[in-house]
Amino acid sequence: MVEIRPVDKSELLAIRRLHEESVGDLSSAVALEWYRENPDLFVGAFDGPELVGYCLGRGRSEDLAELHGIGVQDPYTRQGIGTDLLARFEEAAAAGFDGVTIRSVGGYVDEFYLANGYEPASVLVRLPAEEVPEEYPREFDVVEEQVVDGTAKLYVDADGHDPAFLESVREAFGDPDAVYVMEKRNLDDGSGAIR
């Protein structure tokens, strides 16, 4: 039977390895910093001593936790473990935050988050800073703009989940990899109380 629980500091290396397999690189220093800030936002799925799934995140703002990665190894997929990990992550986040934000990668991942109560808040467009247009296309509302390490991050307001809208943002801004940023507010902390 798979057990869903917070991870110990000694299990961070296993979390990092699984995260790298499913999502991408996460440095040891960054993982340790996030863990020190919010250890309860590191959740694992264990089959005995073996880590078979994970969910990790950090505080993004005063009121939002950011889910940075979630993954389940084969042959444990499609058994509800991802949903259980997400629920445990949300429960931990509810202790200090009003909601959770994530960057989805599209397709079945969007469907997973939608089925778990998440709603698109914006579309994240990433461009080299020097390629940001002086004026944005009129049909889109850019609600936030950041430049980090030479990359401009534009957050385009989203009104619901619509693949055609997402594609139109990608085309208008020239970013074929633009993704939905989804949020879930009013989290249940496990006690039945909604925060």
Residues 15 and 78 in one domain: yes
- The contacts of residue 11 (CB under 8 Å, 6+ apart) are 44, 51
Give the pLDDT score at 29. 79
Helices assigned H by DSSP within 38-145:
81-94, 108-115
Residue 8 lies in a domain: yes
Three-state SS string over 71-86 comes to: EECCCCCCCCHHHHHH
End-of-domain residue from the set 103, 136, 166: 103
Give the pLDDT score at 135. 86
Give the pLDDT score at 194. 46
Residue 144 lies in a domain: yes
Residue 111 lies in a domain: no
Number of domains in the chain: 2
Give the pLDDT score at 186. 82
Give the pLDDT score at 188. 67
Residue 191 lies in a domain: no
Residues 97 and 131 in one domain: no
Give the pLDDT score at 171. 94
Give the pLDDT score at 28. 75
Give the pLDDT score at 95. 92
| CATH at 98 | 3.40.630.30
Give the pLDDT score at 195. 44
Residues 81 and 144 in one domain: no
Residue 113 lies in a domain: no
Q: What does pLDDT average to in each consecutive run of 10 residues of the chain (195 residues)? A: 93 84 73 89 95 92 91 92 96 94 87 94 95 86 92 94 94 94 82 49
